[in-house]
Amino acid sequence: MGETKFSRATEILYQGAYVKGRAERPETPPIYLTTAFNVEDLDDLLSVYEVQGYTYNRTRNPNRNTLAELITYLENGEESIIFSSGMGAISTSMLALLDTGDHLLSDGTLYGETIDLIAKVLPKYGIEITFVDFTDPDAVKNAVKPNTKMLYTETVSNPMITVVDIETVAEIAHANNALLVVDNTFTTSRVIRPLEKGADISINSLTKFANGHSDAVAGALTGSRELVKKIYDLQVLLGSTIDGFTAWLVQRGMRTMDLRVQKQLDNANKLAQALEADPRVIKVHHPSIATHPQHELAKQLFENGYCGMLSFEMPDDRTKINAFMRKLNTAHYAMTLGGYRTSLSHPVSSSHYSIPEAERQKMGITFGLMRVSIGIEDPDDLIADFRQALDVFD
Ligand code: PLP
């Protein structure tokens, strides 16, 4: 507002709306909770367009852009985009990069809702789909078709914690002029940067280990400028973006991602070894275990550890499993993962609830299988707590 004085009803809308004085470099970034940005006139608007400045929140927001910059650095890519969820990143990338008549070759053991998206939504757009076991590179090679445009997998599968050889799968994709898209949610860029292994797009549900505080839902993808631009153009139309506050929360969480995730990786190794040594536990699924089917591959592929997720099998006894869950003082059941506190999930009752029993058995998912997302607790406390809860099986 200039010198002109208006009535109170008008002034109340304008007074104090713009920051005065030197406030350009706050210690933490400000939150841009605004739907739009003002310009002076049409020439000013053009100059904003020229520098890819900010006009409307759905197209660009400073908190999203700075978060994207951080993720681009961590994932070692050219460009990133932030989404309203991990599913937003997954669905938008598939819809942007696949056309009617294209074939998507997907791993068969993905996050349940990614499977639903591929199996139920993509065929409606005339996209052909095939699921194969991506831990078997020959099966992947044999399933490629002339119209295969994308291979899709996760670094580590849920809930059996198997590991995919990203480098080999990337070679298969590129030998057939297809793209490789990898979901890095379970491992994060602390452990592996899929783009460095040949993937074209790396996807992260930031809701999980990346933000790590279980207080924000968001997703991201990273890749080459060209691919990311293609996906961004569709994202603007689909509107799968987040507001400045959520982006701000995630960047705050991610400042400590490496510290948290490193502790989670170390704790996971320790808990996996302790459970493996416990006679009440039937089997532990974690790449740190020497008998894990991809133990050697994981050692060669991953840095700083393996994965903050593990699963383990208890006897198929509902009453005792309930008692075990109630007896635990640290880990509680939560329909998420990657938070700073250890949490449990029961695949038969959640992620694989709708899968027929016979198929679940084939995948190795027994009633006694419990998935654990490891937190940053003292590992000795965690191990002691799991041990005393397992006493219900004595
Ligand atoms: N990818 C993986 C591996 C996941 O586990 C999840 C959710 O649990 C997602 C993607 C989806 O993330 P969001 O819940 O942020 O959409």
Which of 113, 164, 187 is the best mutation target for the ligand 1 pocket, counting ligand atoms within 8 Å of the beta carbon and taking the most? 113
Return the closest-CA partner of residue 268 out of 187, 182, 197: 187
Atom 8 of ligand 1, nearest CA residue = 336
pLDDT at site 361: 87
Sign of CA dihedral 68, 71, 77, 80: negative
* Ligand 1 center–CA 290 separation, angstroms: 28
Reported as a single tens digit per residue, the pLDDT across 208-218 is 999 999 999 99
- What spacing in Å lies between the alpha carbon of 215 and ligand 1's midpoint? 14
Residue range 14-21: average pLDDT?
Answer: 89
Percent of the chain with pLDDT over 70: 99
Residue 207 C-alpha to ligand 1 middle, in angstroms?
Answer: 7
Give me the mean pLDDT over the 243-251 stretch.
98
- Alpha-carbon distance of 82 to 65, in angstroms, equals 8
Helical (H) or strand (E) element with 67: helix 62-75
Q: Is 318 exposed, middle or buried (0-12, 13-18, 19+ CB in 10 A)?
A: exposed
Q: What is the 341 CA–ligand 1 centroid distance (Å)?
A: 18
The reported pLDDT for the residue numbered 352 is 85
Q: Taking all residues of the chain, what is their mean pLDDT, rounded to a whole number?
A: 96
If you measure from the C-alpha of residue 168 to the centroid of ligand 1, how many angstroms do you get, rounded to a whole number?
A: 24
Residue 219 alpha carbon, nearest atom of ligand 1: 15
Model confidence at 4, pLDDT cuts 50, 70, 90, reads: confident
Q: What is the pLDDT of residues 362-379, one digit of tens each?
A: 888 999 999 999 999 999
Protein residue closest via CA to atom 12 of ligand 1: 86
pLDDT for position 1: 56
Given this model, what pLDDT does residue 16 score? Answer: 87
Please identify, by atom number, the ligand 1 atom nearest to the C-alpha of residue 186: 3
Cα–Cα distance for residue pair 153/283, rounded to 1 Å: 25
Q: How far is the CA of 110 from the centre of ligand 1 (A)?
A: 10
* 136-150 average pLDDT score: 98
Residue nearest to atom 4 of ligand 1 (CA): 111
Rounded Cα distance, 244 and 61, in Å: 7
| Tokens representing residue 145 in the block | 């078709």
CA distance 31 to 63: 7
- List of E strands, the chain: 79-83, 103-107, 128-132, 148-154, 179-183, 201-205, 219-223, 283-285, 309-313, 332-333, 343-345, 369-373
Pocket of ligand 1 (CB under 6 A): 85-87, 111, 154, 158, 183, 185-186, 205, 207, 217, 219
Identify the band that residue 295 occupies on the pLDDT scale cut at 50, 70 and 90.
Answer: very high
Pick the closest to residue 93 from 204, 7, 169 (CA basis): 204
CA of 94 to the centre of ligand 1 (A): 15
Compute the distance from residue 153 Cα to the ligand 1 centre, in Å.
13
DSSP letter for 206, please. Answer: I
pLDDT at 359: 84
Nearest Cα to 212, choosing from 254, 158, 161, 269?
254
pTM, entire model: 0.96
Q: Which atom of ligand 1 is nearest to the CA of 87?
A: 16
Q: In this structure, how many other beta carbons lie within 10 angstroms of the beta carbon of residue 286?
A: 26
Q: Name the closest-CA residue to atom 11, ligand 1.
A: 86
Among 182, 201, 208, 209, the mutation site with the greatest number of ligand 1 atoms within 8 A of its Cβ is 208
* Sequence-ordered list of residues with C-beta below 8 angstroms from that of 390, at least 6 positions apart, any chain: 278, 280, 281, 314, 324
Which phi and psi angles does 372 have, rounded to 5°? -125, 130
Confidence at residue 356, expressed as pLDDT on a 0 to 100 scale: 86
Nearest-atom number in ligand 1 for the CA of 110 is: 3
d(CA 119, CA 158): 17
Q: Work out the angle at residue 210's Cα, subtended by the Cα atoms of residues 232 and 274, and round it to the nearest 5 degrees.
A: 145
Q: What is the pLDDT of residues 181-204, one digit of tens each?
A: 999 999 999 999 999 999 999 999
Mutate-to-test residue for ligand 1 from 185, 214, 307, 352, highest number of ligand atoms within 8 A of CB? 185
Please state the rounded mean pLDDT for residues 152-168: 97
Q: Which of 201, 205, 213 to mutate to test the pocket of ligand 1 (most atoms within 8 A of CB)?
A: 205
Average pLDDT score over residue span 105-127: 95
Ligand 1: which of 87, 161, 250 to mutate, judged by most atoms within 8 Å of the beta carbon? Answer: 87
Structure confidence by residue, pLDDT tens digits, 343-366: 999 999 988 888 888 988 888 899
Per-residue pLDDT band for 2 (boundaries 50, 70, 90) equals low
Q: Centre a 10 Å sphere on the Cβ of residue 115 and count the other Cβ atoms it contains.
A: 20
